[in-house]
Structure 1
Amino acid sequence: MLKENKLMAIKQLQKECENADGIQLKLNWEMLREREGRQMDFSYEKNGQLIACLSLYGFGSTVEVCGMVIPEERRKGHFTRLWQQALVTIEQYGFQTILLNAPSTSITAKEWLSKQPYTYAFSEYQMRWSERPIEASDEILLRVAKPSDANLEVKLDVLAFGMDEEDARSHLERIKERQDEQFLMIEADNRTVGKVRINRTEGEAWIYGFAILPEFQGRGYGRKVLRNIVKSEHDAGNQICLEVEAKNNRALTLYESVGFIKIQGQDYYKKNRV
């Protein structure tokens, strides 16, 4: 587990980079706070100050990569040296797919990526709910997931997000250990029709893993679920955020109809290890 002073230094570095570049970095804080065992974070300090850091986030056989360097220390090779260390870990733990993440408007990230053997894969948007009058629906029930729901949760990840079943099951088992996550099943017409996960951290509620079984889509369930979550979290004083793949027009339209607006784009570059 990362020590509290290291987490604070990462947070400060993130703030400096975001303010200087007008971007938002995706650091997966829920994973950073619960690091155990494996060496997944790499950093460089100078005179007691954190200058650069790079973190790996494992999702089954796929690993996502995000990093940053303080503006005045860029183009000095710091990030490349950390990346070389990270590649050793990636090989050691047998990750098969590498996804490099960069904010869509980050010029320095794109410069570095242009020199790497990775190809553009997809983009996603981070969205935040813009306050407006909203009413909950009593046609939808959100209940806490039970152990007996695990197979359906895995099935939904496979169907909705294209995950390999083994990766989906491994990912579910790992995130179920987190203390700041709430796993909910969606019920409608006396049937379990989907799932959603909520992570609450520092006044923000992030919606993840939101999926409805294909045979129950198109009935308005998704909009009603979102309205219920937004109303509950807003009443609790939380900002509500989520992520969605940019090419998923159906999901984008749904989220925007409930009041979510785009706040940042993230681009992903991919390479499969041979």
Structure 2
Amino acid sequence: MIKIKEFTELTEKDKAYIRELIDDCIRYEQLELSVPDLDEEDGTAYLYYQSSKNPKLISVLFCYDLEDYLEVSAFTSPAHRCQGAFTSLFQKLMEGYEETPVCFYPDGNSYDALMTMEVLDCEYSGTEHLMRLEKRPEVAGDAAIAENNATVTLYPATKDDLLALVAVHSAAFDMEKEDSIAFLDQSFDTGETIWCIAAGGTIVGLVLTSIQPDQTNLYGLAIHPEYQGKGYGRDAVNVLLQKPEITFPVTLHVTEENEAAFKIYKGMGFVTTQELMEYWY
């Protein structure tokens, strides 16, 4: 008898079953699959067991309710694919979200995942590249001299910079100022570092980093539209990568549609480790 368990908080035993299942999927597909944070408390996990007599986990679905839509990811044992496990979990999820849009981010190189999107009749909307730089780039001469010769300077923002940062963020991302304020306030409160990108004493852009002991995640690079096309974005990333507090590897996400940013990162030595294709149900 099929056994589906629903959790908003996972036990250590269930986490161990999930890690074993995801490891099986990674070995089978030979892909760098994005693994959910099993300690995340904001999502719901649906676990599919073959039966109470056979407690081996064969499928898991993660759901994050982001108010306007759901973000869903799932893993199914290679030996049990095309047997209805994912379908059962997805139907169970949608019992409570019949009219809610669902977003999936399957790996673009996963045949099984893309076939699932086709079966569900999902709509493709774009591709996101996960990129990685393993070590600090070498610079000719002294890094401090190189920074002084750059067209921009970078410094950690404080809340005194908030109004200038909001002007940049809202213009660059075409967002309402209230939404930019909420986003930047949250970044301050959660410990991310917001870097001001300044040229001639004026804040022309910003970039955010989440610095961990063993890696740094870079995101939110933005140059105000009035100052774009001057090389400030490229110079800002070059300067940032020389900052001593930045740990390596450095990882980032960039959409395929953002050709300028993708070209900048690729030219600096970042390599694509995974392509996530956005689909909507």
Amino acid of the structure 2 residue aligned with 1:21: E
Tell me the residue number matched to 2:226.
215
Unaligned residue ranges in structure 1 (runs of 5+): none
Percent identity, please: 25
Residue of structure 2 in register with 1:269 after alignment? 279
- Alignment size in residue pairs: 262
Q: Distance in 1 between matches of 2:72 and 2:133?
A: 27
| Rg larger for | 2
What RMSD over aligned residues (CA atoms) do the two structures have, in Å?
3.3
- Measure, in 1, the Cα distance between the counterparts of 2:15 and 2:207: 28
Match of 2:3 in 1: none
Structure 1 residue 133, shift from structure 2 partner: 1.8
Q: In 1, Cα distance between the equivalents of 2:213 and 2:89?
A: 29
Q: CA deviation at 1:208?
A: 1.4
Q: CA deviation at 1:188?
A: 2.7
| 1:52 corresponding residue in structure 2 | 59
**Structure 2: segments with no counterpart, 5+ residues:** 1-7
Q: Which one-letter code corresponds to 1:190 in the other structure?
A: G
Written as runs of structure 1 = structure 2, the 5 A alignment for 1:22-41 is 22-27=30-35, 29=37, 33-36=39-42, 39-41=43-45
25, 32, 35: which is aligned to 1:17?
25
> Of the candidates 183, 187, 195, which is equivalent to residue 198 of structure 2?
187
2:158 is equivalent to residue 146 of structure 1? yes
Is 1:228 the equivalent of 2:239? yes
Aligned to 2:124, which of 96, 120, 145?
Answer: 120
Could you tell me which residue of structure 2 aligns to residue 110 of structure 1?
A: 114
Give the conservation status (yes or no) of the 8 Å contact 1:126–1:265. Answer: yes
Give the structure-1-normalised TM-score. Answer: 0.78
- Give the aligned partner of residue 43 of structure 1: 47
* Aligned equivalent of 1:251: 261
The alpha carbon displacement at 1:264 in A equals 1.6
Query: Residues 11 and 160 (structure 1 numbering): CA distance in 2 closer, same or farther, change over 3 Å?
Result: farther
Q: CA deviation at 1:3?
A: 4.8
2:138 aligned residue: 133
Distance 1:148 1:240, change over 3 A: same
3-state DSSP of counterpart to 1:137: helix
- Structure 1 residue 244: Cα displacement: 0.9
| Partners of 1:128 and 1:260 within 8 A in 2 | yes
- SS across alignment from 1:215: helix
2:248 corresponds to which residue? 238
Deviates more, 1:7-16 or 1:254-263: 7-16
8 Å contact kept, 2:104–2:279: yes
| 1:24/1:264 contact within 8 Å kept | yes
Question: Offset at 1:148?
Answer: 4.9
